[in-house]
Amino acid sequence: MRVEIREVGLRDGLQNEAPVSLEAKALLLDAVVATGVRRVEATAFVSPRAVPSMADAEQVAALLHRWPGVRFSALVASLGGARRAVAAGITDLEYVVSAGDGHSRANVRIGTEEATEQVAEVAAVVHDAGGSVEVIVATAWDCPFDGPTPPERVLRIVERACELGADELAIADTIGTATPVRVQRLIGAVRDRVGPVTLGAHFHNTRGAGLACAVAAVGEGVLRLDASAGGLGGCPFAPGASGNIATEELVYLLQDMGIETGVDLQRSIDAARLAQDVVGHLVPSNLLRAGDRKR
């Protein structure tokens, strides 16, 4: 069995941090690519006023030719963002739709239904450029403003997104409240609703259950997981949201389960250490502090 890890440290990992230099981002890109990951979310084309750490998206995009063989993508939250990304040369995009209406309005200033319907326009821009669009359903389990997310809201979004042109889907625990049993139920229901569409998952470790949720998702057939070097991350528009599951901790766990990732554990630890240096404070990763188990 093989699970693909998408490194999101350059986007989700840094979006809640004070802006770091383009040179530092290049060093971090070099480190995460050296781990063996072959999918990297490199930046986000969003409002630089709302997310200052992503203000250099075009400059980051201009660096990506240095690492051939890696599938780079960018996150967008609007049609304008999609157009910016394509103009900058990134044609694999993640478009976010928040299942929580309150979070959607805080994040993109429109409700969930309107954000969902924009999938068609985003997909048209991306497909015209020869790329692909993944719809990420944020706050899929709970919304910081609305409380528990009814599963049927998520199911309606994924079904409609596929109708409107989404090539892939991902289900995201934006505020880190999911538990394994809830993951099993929702992922299973999504699978039943959309069938063979490629499905990924994105977990935050806010309440310490992120890795357990990731394993539960794999048990439901999810074969692509997002993770961030050092466990950095958080949503600027979701109060209390903290870091993603750490890439090196996910690699450590999956390898010990006999699941292939193609990612080198020691180089992942090195990338986490560099991420810590880049942001200038301790990162959440326990594995970075403890080190790999010696055999």
CA distance 166 to 135: 6
Other Cβ atoms within 10 Å of 258 Cβ, number: 7
Query: Has 235 been annotated as catalytic?
Result: yes
Instruction: Convert the pLDDT of each residue in 55-113 to its tens digit.
Output: 999 999 999 999 999 999 999 999 999 999 999 999 999 999 999 999 999 989 999 99
More confident residue, 136 or 292: 136
pTM of the predicted structure, to 2 decimals: 0.96
CA distance 76 to 73: 10
Domains of the chain: 4-283 (3.20.20.70)
Choosing from 143, 162, 213, 235, which is the catalytic residue? 235
In this structure, are residues 214 and 245 in contact, taking their beta carbons and an 8 Å threshold?
yes
Q: 224-254 as b/e, with b when 16 or more CB fall inside 10 Å?
A: bbbbbbbbbbbbebbeebbbbbbbbbbbbbb
Q: Give the pLDDT band of residue 171 (cuts 50, 70, 90).
A: very high
In this structure, are residues 64 and 42 in contact, taking their beta carbons and an 8 Å threshold?
yes
- pLDDT above 90 as % of the chain: 94
